[in-house]
Structure 1
């Protein structure tokens, strides 16, 4: 097992509420067609971790529950310190006491996304409060100081099956994404919060690379993508991320990726594994 500083990583509380969907205006497709579609926020009853990220009659659809704070500073802390795999507990309303886990962060709308089982979703309401045991920021790989760890619960990380081979880290991933497909979110100054999108307007290229089979929760490798101190292109850099929201109709957008591991050099290798999905690891 890789050596980490997990015993020194602080576990503390962040909190938010189920956020009502916003918008309702036309969204313009990359082909210039105006459409009215469900998008971000609320409770998605039939969209969950493990489902396809493609084919939904929606735009930027978020699986499970979308939560945030209306106070900007408090929401920034929620977005930054909630990590994929963290325990989430409902602390108000009819579903009080039920537990789930964080599945990703969606920038722009600034939502933290959470999985709960179907029974819990039926009892949950808009504005119900959710508390998260924020645990993960500050995680380090003791023997790999040049690898940036971010936004993943240390306990979940240990379940991913990352191995050391000839001085490199091999990580199970469902697919590898070339840098020319990364779009909305490029240029952001912080890789520790939110996500950025795989552009999908070129459907033939997406199919050629097998990216049309991506599911919510899948791990992917981003080639030549540096998320160490922001999001951008760097030859040889490698990022590992998780698919957090659906495909999109807007130009420059597509399935969102929250990053969890980054190296400025080719120190990380992706090993193709169709089962590399956080839903599978969380059930172990």
Structure 2
């Protein structure tokens, strides 16, 4: 697989570790009121590779959540950072420690970063994390119909993707998600940032798509989902994404998916592989 990575600009972006936001109260799909941990902060026991469903939490973000208080700077962080980019702590007790971008969370507009457990213990809210942003504008040579978003070029090369003779991609995925299960985030004007959620309220569909087995970092295929210029339904379209945040108790929400690849035609095929997870590709798991 050849790409235009040599022509892409690698540029610094930076964000601060955010304070957790209160999600309380939440009204569940059963009509119950709950107070739960949610977005932001440093999550010490929720990490890349852990199951994305089952925590007593709502939209919890694994590892470290970063953002900027200035909206324009935060736009730059959220748009330019890509999954798999190298991240480095530049202030505080963990200065110099390195990790990786694992996703983007829309609505709250956070970039999510993995660091090893020993680094998490040294980090503090407000510490600055600098990222070598690289991937915006990435293209796969010979596949003009397929768009690449939010993906570090070197991560793309590690994803065991095969380019077939008919300009189709064969991509390892842990499961395939039907379009009718995609919820919050539908209608977003761009897929260059953020995510959208897999809905979990229907128990039969939940089990059929094996949503309960999903882990942070898993690669999934979204059927009939067009993420080319925003997020919506299109018969025959295919998108590939990564699981970035946990399940949620409110209607229309669930594990979050950040877009990596999309095509308005059925030119992306998923091959089931239980180890299709960025944690393995990045040498973390």
Same-fold call, TM cutoff 0.5: yes
Query: Partner of 1:237 in structure 2?
Result: 237
- Relative distance call for 1:246 and 1:31 in structure 2 (3 A) is same
Counterpart mapping for 1:250-269 below 5 A: 250-269=250-269
What are structure 1's unaligned runs of at least 5 residues? none
Q: 1:179-212: CA deviations, max 9, x gaps?
A: 0000000000001100000000112211122121
Q: Distance in 1 between matches of 2:274 and 2:45?
A: 22
Q: Distance in 1 between matches of 2:76 and 2:219?
A: 24
Q: In terms of mean alpha carbon deviation, does 92-101 or 204-213 score higher?
A: 204-213
Q: CA deviation at 1:30?
A: 1.0
- Relative distance call for 1:142 and 1:166 in structure 2 (3 A) is closer
Query: Partner of 1:104 in structure 2?
Result: 103
Q: CA deviation at 1:25?
A: 2.4
Q: In terms of mean alpha carbon deviation, does 164-173 or 55-64 score higher?
A: 164-173
Query: Partner of 1:8 in structure 2?
Result: 7
Runs of 4+ in 1 over 3 A off after TM superposition: none
Q: Distance in 2 between matches of 1:24 and 1:61?
A: 10
Q: Structure 1 length as normaliser, TM-score? A: 0.98
Query: Partner of 1:66 in structure 2?
Result: 65
RMSD of equivalent CA atoms: 0.8
Alignment partner of 2:102: what SS? strand
Q: Distance in 1 between matches of 2:171 and 2:157?
A: 11
Q: Distance in 2 between matches of 1:77 and 1:190?
A: 14
Query: Partner of 1:131 in structure 2?
Result: 130
Query: Partner of 1:33 in structure 2?
Result: 32
Query: Partner of 2:142 in structure 1?
Result: 143
What are structure 2's unaligned runs of at least 5 residues? none
Alignment partner of 2:204: what SS? helix
Q: Distance in 1 between matches of 2:142 and 2:251?
A: 41
Q: CA deviation at 1:24?
A: 5.2
Q: In terms of mean alpha carbon deviation, does 186-195 or 160-169 score higher?
A: 160-169
Q: 1:34-80: CA deviations, max 9, x gaps?
A: 00100000000000010000100000010000000000011011001
Alignment partner of 1:184: what SS? coil
Query: Partner of 2:222 in structure 1?
Result: 222
* 8 Å contact kept, 2:22–2:37: no
Q: Distance in 2 between matches of 1:232 and 1:24?
A: 26
Alignment partner of 2:112: what SS? strand
Q: Distance in 1 between matches of 2:246 and 2:163?
A: 32
Query: Partner of 1:113 in structure 2?
Result: 112
Q: Distance in 1 between matches of 2:24 and 2:229?
A: 34
Q: Distance in 2 between matches of 1:165 and 1:150?
A: 20
Q: Distance in 2 between matches of 1:48 and 1:164?
A: 32
- Residue 187 of structure 2 corresponds to residue 187 of structure 1: yes
Alignment partner of 1:119: what SS? helix
Q: Structure 2 length as normaliser, TM-score? A: 0.98
Q: Distance in 2 between matches of 1:24 and 1:86?
A: 29
Alignment partner of 1:100: what SS? strand
